[in-house]
């Protein structure tokens, strides 16, 4: 099998590698779900995947189209009510990592999934916060994955739906019982981490073939790069094979449901 | 004690214009048949509550039933936007809908508090989020024991809740299986409740810890076969993902939406085609 891969595959494989075996992960739908299940099917067979629909320790054979697909329930250790999910499991501190996507992100990892424009007369109304506001503050840490573009990486998010580190990078300071917040952002171009002091996102690793200019072009603020800038490891043949199988299975399943 | 009624009669009796109504279902067991009956009876000025308003709320909003929406995630799961909701919020068509927006954690707690008969729910929530700046229902209290600042939201106390479940027995006891969402909380929090079921059976066959809602805690049971379609009923039929995708095109345009509603709701017996 050829080791050629797309930038989307690069993003998913890199995001998957962020999850360690045995972690408990509260999974968002879409890209996070794809990455988390790839992790489970490759290097992290004992990663515990939890979806906000109440499915605890689920092992879906195909990726869910919605957060409440029957597949998630059928392959789960158990399914609890939604209040139990948020109160006992998330707020109760049982989640190591929350894995989120977003529509907009800024330099302090604040996430906007509410709207573009002004709240009272929005240009574009987005679905809203869902589980993210509390996942981001109650989970031990947060991984974020999304495609890199000027539309998504903006200087100021139009609305803070979900806290990264606030508009000044200090919003978690002194708050009791709060998680560490975002610890890495994985895109189709690079991996970023918040600066330990200022909390501003810094590019720590470029994907192979991606230049600094590519990242600068796709970012809505003057993005910083780490002094020791690394190159992200390429996906290996097995990771690509498992990912492609998973996506093909998923496509077949969803196309067949009429 | 639950009374077995036709869906028409249950909605006619318990859903009044201006009522606060919760039709729950966390992407599973979504009460489409009940929602369509509400549309057919042209109920107006409803305050609609739901954590995850999806297609049936899009249809209710587009049909002009809603005055207000209380929610935490409003989208077409896995597909994209709710175009009728967006049209109402962005352009005021068919009329402006006021929105009160929460997070899932807060709404789940608010349903639970409603079921528990409390006036408010308390959670460690909304830290750093700007949602409290646009939703005056989100406030803060200080824990009297530790001094911790916690979020508070009013409990959900609907005038009437409508949910769909797999089955009821002949006494009206209801079994909900699979992803149970906040169905039980929605029923217990409401003043009146209607449960639609796939079928009525002699014996629920429920295990000791199953999610069973006693018939004496429910007002009306109506049989609505495939009443959650195009969402799914665990153990009965799968989600029609194709319809969820098709809805995107139907709902994008006011005219195609109107035609769909005429054909599939106003001029149809009960269920989405």
Complex ipTM:
0.96
Inter-chain residue contact A68 with B127, CB threshold 8 Å: no
Inter-chain residue contact A163 with B85, CB threshold 8 Å: no
Question: Predicted confidence band at A253 (pLDDT cuts at 50, 70, 90)?
Answer: confident
A164-192 pLDDT tens trace = 999 999 999 999 999 999 999 999 999 99
B58-116 pLDDT tens trace = 999 999 999 999 999 999 988 889 999 999 998 999 999 999 999 999 999 999 999 99
Q: What is the chain A residue with the closest CA to B77? A: A66
Q: Is pLDDT of A3 > 80?
A: no
pLDDT for position B273: 36
Question: Predicted confidence band at A136 (pLDDT cuts at 50, 70, 90)?
Answer: very high
Question: Predicted confidence band at A256 (pLDDT cuts at 50, 70, 90)?
Answer: low
Percent of chain A clearing pLDDT 70 (strictly above): 98
Output the DSSP codes for A12-75. Answer: HHHHHHTSPTT-EEEE-TTHHHHHHHHHHHTT-TT-EEE-TTSEEEE--SS--SSTT-HHHHHT
Rounded distance, CA A142 to CA A163, Å?
11
Q: Which of A34, A52, A71, A134 is catalytic?
A: A52
Give mean pLDDT, residues A53-68: 92
Chain B CB contacts of A123 below 8 Å: 90
Chain B CB contacts of A256 below 8 Å: none
CA distance B9 to chain A (A): 30
Rounded distance, CA B11 to CA B160, Å?
10
Note whether B211 contacts A: Cβ–Cβ < 8 A.
yes
Residue B103 has its nearest CB partner, among A64, A134, A258, at A134
Catalytic-residue membership of A52 = yes
pLDDT for position A258: 43
CA distance A81 to chain B (A): 5
Inter-chain residue contact B129 with A160, CB threshold 8 Å: yes
Residue A87 has its nearest CB partner, among B74, B109, B127, at B109
The SS3 call for residue A116 is strand
Note whether B53 contacts A: Cβ–Cβ < 8 A.
no
Chain A CB contacts of B211 below 8 Å: 81
Where is average pLDDT lowest: A93-97, A223-227, B86-90?
A: B86-90
Q: Is pLDDT of B272 > 60?
A: no
Indicate the average pLDDT of chain A.
95
């Amino acid at each position: 099998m050829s080791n050629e891969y797309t930038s989307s595959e690069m993003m998913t494989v890199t995001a998957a590698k962020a999850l360690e075996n045995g972690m408990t992960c509260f999974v968002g739908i879409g890209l996070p779900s794809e990455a988390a299940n790839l992790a489970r099917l490759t290097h992290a067979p004992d990663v515990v995947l939890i979806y906000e629909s109440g499915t605890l320790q689920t092992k879906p054979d195909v990726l869910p189209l919605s957060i409440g697909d029957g597949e998630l329930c059928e392959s789960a250790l158990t399914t609890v009510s939604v209040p139990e999910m948020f109160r006992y499991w998330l707020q109760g501190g049982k989640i190591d990592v929350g894995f989120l996507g977003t529509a907009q992100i800024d330099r302090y990892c604040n996430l906007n999934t509410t709207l573009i424009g002004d709240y009272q007369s929005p240009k574009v109304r987005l679905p809203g916060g869902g589980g993210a506001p509390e996942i981001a503050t109650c989970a031990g840490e947060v991984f974020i994955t999304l495609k890199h573009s000027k539309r998504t990486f903006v200087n100021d998010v139009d609305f803070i739906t979900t806290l990264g580190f606030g508009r000044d990078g200090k919003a978690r300071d002194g708050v009791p019982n709060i998680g560490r917040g975002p610890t890495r952002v994985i895109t189709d171009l690079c991996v970023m981490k918040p600066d330990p002091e200022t909390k501003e996102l810094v590019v720590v690793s470029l994907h192979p073939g991606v230049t600094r200019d590519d990242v600068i072009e796709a970012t809505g603020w003057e993005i910083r790069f780490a002094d020791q800038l690394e190159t992200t490891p390429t996906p290996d043949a097995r990771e690509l094979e498992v990912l492609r199988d998973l996506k093909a299975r998923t496509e077949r399943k969803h196309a067949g449901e009429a | 004690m639950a009374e077995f009624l036709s869906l028409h009669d249950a909605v006619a009796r318990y859903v009044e214009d201006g009522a606060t109504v919760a039709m729950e279902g966390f992407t599973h067991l979504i009460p489409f048949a009940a929602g369509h009956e509400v549309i057919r009876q042209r109920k107006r000025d409803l305050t609609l509550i739901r954590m995850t308003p999806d297609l049936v709320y899009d249809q209710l909003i587009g049909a002009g039933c809603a005055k207000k929406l209380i929610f935490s995630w409003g989208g077409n799961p896995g597909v994209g936007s709710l175009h009728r909701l967006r049209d109402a919020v962005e352009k005021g068509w068919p009329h402006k809908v006021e929105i009160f927006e929460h997070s899932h954690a807060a709404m789940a707690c608010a349903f639970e508090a409603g079921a528990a008969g409390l006036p408010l729910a308390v959670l460690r929530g909304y830290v750093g989020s700007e949602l409290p700046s646009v939703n005056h229902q989100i406030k803060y209290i200080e824990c009297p024991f530790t001094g911790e600042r916690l979020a508070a939201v009013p409990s959900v106390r609907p005038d009437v809740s409508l949910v769909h479940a797999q089955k009821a027995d002949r006494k009206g006891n209801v079994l909900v299986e699979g992803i149970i969402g906040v169905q039980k909380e929605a029923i217990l929090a409401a003043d009146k409740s209607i449960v639609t079921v796939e079928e009525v059976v002699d014996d629920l066959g429920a295990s000791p810890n199953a999610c069973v809602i006693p018939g004496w805690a429910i007002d009306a049971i109506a049989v609505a076969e495939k009443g959650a379609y195009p969402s799914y009923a665990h153990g009965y039929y799968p989600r029609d993902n194709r319809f969820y995708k098709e809805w995107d095109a139907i709902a994008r345009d006011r005219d195609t939406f109107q035609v769909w509603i005429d054909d599939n709701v106003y001029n149809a017996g009960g269920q989405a085609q």
